[in-house]
Amino acid sequence: MSERKTARETADMAQSFVDLHCHSTASDGTLSPAEVVRLARRCRLSGLAVTDHDTVGGIAEAEAEARASGIDFIAGIEISCQFPTGTMHLLGYGVDPVNPALTKLTTELVGGRDDRNPKIVEKLNQLGVSVTMDEWRARASGGVLGRPQLAAILVEKGYVRSIQQAFDKYLGSDGLAYFDKERLPAREALDRIRQSGGLPVLAHPRQLRTGNDAELQTAVKNLVDLGLAGIEVIHSDHDADWVCKCEELANRFGLLKTGGSDFHGTNKKDISLGVANGRRVPRAYFDALKEQLAVVHPPIRPART
């Protein structure tokens, strides 16, 4: 009886879905880490990775809730890197949240935001938009101040009608109050993720905005040479064409395939946890990542006496 149940559970698991890319209030999401996990359970996801920008501050809470909820969990982080044409984000899976290399890195990354953010607020003030750093800080319970929180304040104050409009008019790369933050060279981000026990994965390759497929392939090849372990195939910005392109790149370079919604709660209203542009993320992606992490961190066996 119990054996049959186990076989059934195994079969259910194989057909289940996961989300390997989402944000909590530790960075620029609007649900707390525990709330994201509880939502994952309501959405019947069997596995989750929380990947906040520049911080692992939400991982302990999410992991504890995942254990209580019976959801398999992988610690994650998302790091912005230098790239000439567009946005390069690297996801770090399985990083050890208390590793000194990681703590040093997150401290530096938050420092880069501290340099940028007052410039954005000052520029907005010059443009007649009344907003303060204190208001922004009050929105960022996790200590990582991201532009979506500021965008939400601008919506609430009636300066714009939507978060997207806040980005288009003020905060996005073509906006009137745009300032970039200090970004890490990809090599450094890859090294630090590896040093802290994680596997580096290229997030949403479409956002690299490479001019053509050859440039995309070169960009991925360069990262592979520096230790890239995987590529995000399924993502809310990826249509069928991009899913296919990324699958081909994964096969060509022997990379892990990952996927996630990039859920941010109400800071990105169109994105639901567990769904990426109409697609769901197969459990097999989670299992392959876990398997590879087990190679990086072999389980410690008690010494024989």
| Residues near ligand AMP, by CB under 6 A | 28, 53, 146-148, 164, 167, 172, 181, 264
Give alpha helix (H) positions in the chain: 2-14, 33-42, 59-69, 100-126, 133-139, 147-156, 163-166, 186-195, 213-225, 240-253, 283-296
- Residue 220 CA: distances (Å) to CA of 186, 195, 211, 275: 11, 21, 14, 25
Residue 118: how many other CB atoms lie within 10 Å: 15
Whichever of 203 and 276 has its CB closer to Fe ion, that residue is 203
Whichever of 188 and 287 has its CB closer to Fe ion, that residue is 188
Report d(CA 231, CA 135) in Å as an integer: 36
Work out how close the CB of 149 gets to Fe ion at its nearest, in angstroms, rounded to a whole number. Answer: 10
Whichever of 146 and 230 has its CB closer to ligand AMP, that residue is 146
Q: Which sign, positive or negative, has the C-alpha torsion 281, 105, 32, 177?
A: negative
Work out how close the CB of 13 gets to Zn ion at its nearest, in angstroms, rounded to a whole number. Answer: 26
Site for Fe ion in 192-221 (CB under 5 A): 203
Give the residue nearest to Fe ion (CB): 89
Choose among Fe ion, Zn ion, ligand AMP, none what residue 139 binds, the Cβ cut-off being 5 to 8 Å by kind: none
Work out how close the CB of 93 gets to ligand AMP at its nearest, in angstroms, rounded to a whole number. Answer: 18
Cβ proximity of 20 and 258 under 8 Å: yes
In the three-class reduction of DSSP (H, G, I as helix; E, B as strand; rest coil), residue 219 is classed as helix
In the three-class reduction of DSSP (H, G, I as helix; E, B as strand; rest coil), residue 162 is classed as coil
52 lies in the site for Fe ion, by CB under 5 A: no
Whichever of 71 and 150 has its CB closer to ligand AMP, that residue is 150
- Residue 202 CA: distances (Å) to CA of 31, 42, 145, 234: 25, 28, 23, 12
113 lies in the site for Fe ion, by CB under 5 A: no
Work out how close the CB of 302 gets to ligand AMP at its nearest, in angstroms, rounded to a whole number. Answer: 43
> Which of 20, 26, 89, 249 is close enough to bind Fe ion by CB under 5 A?
89
Work out how close the CB of 225 gets to Zn ion at its nearest, in angstroms, rounded to a whole number. Answer: 25
> Which of 19, 28, 72, 232 is close enough to bind Fe ion by CB under 5 A?
28
Return the closest-CA partner of residue 275 out of 258, 257, 260: 260
Give the residue nearest to ligand AMP (CB): 172
Work out how close the CB of 80 gets to Zn ion at its nearest, in angstroms, rounded to a whole number. Answer: 10
Whichever of 63 and 262 has its CB closer to Zn ion, that residue is 262
Choose among Zn ion, Fe ion, ligand AMP, none what residue 172 binds, the Cβ cut-off being 5 to 8 Å by kind: ligand AMP
Alpha-carbon 95 to chain mean position: 13
Q: Which sign, positive or negative, has the C-alpha torsion 55, 60, 64, 65?
A: negative
Work out how close the CB of 235 gets to Fe ion at its nearest, in angstroms, rounded to a whole number. Answer: 9
Work out how close the CB of 217 gets to ligand AMP at its nearest, in angstroms, rounded to a whole number. Answer: 24
Give the residue nearest to Zn ion (CB): 262
Whichever of 28 and 61 has its CB closer to Fe ion, that residue is 28
Residue 296: how many other CB atoms lie within 10 Å: 13
Give the single-character DSSP code of 266.
Answer: G
Whichever of 71 and 271 has its CB closer to ligand AMP, that residue is 271
Binding residues for Fe ion (CB under 5 A): 28, 89, 203
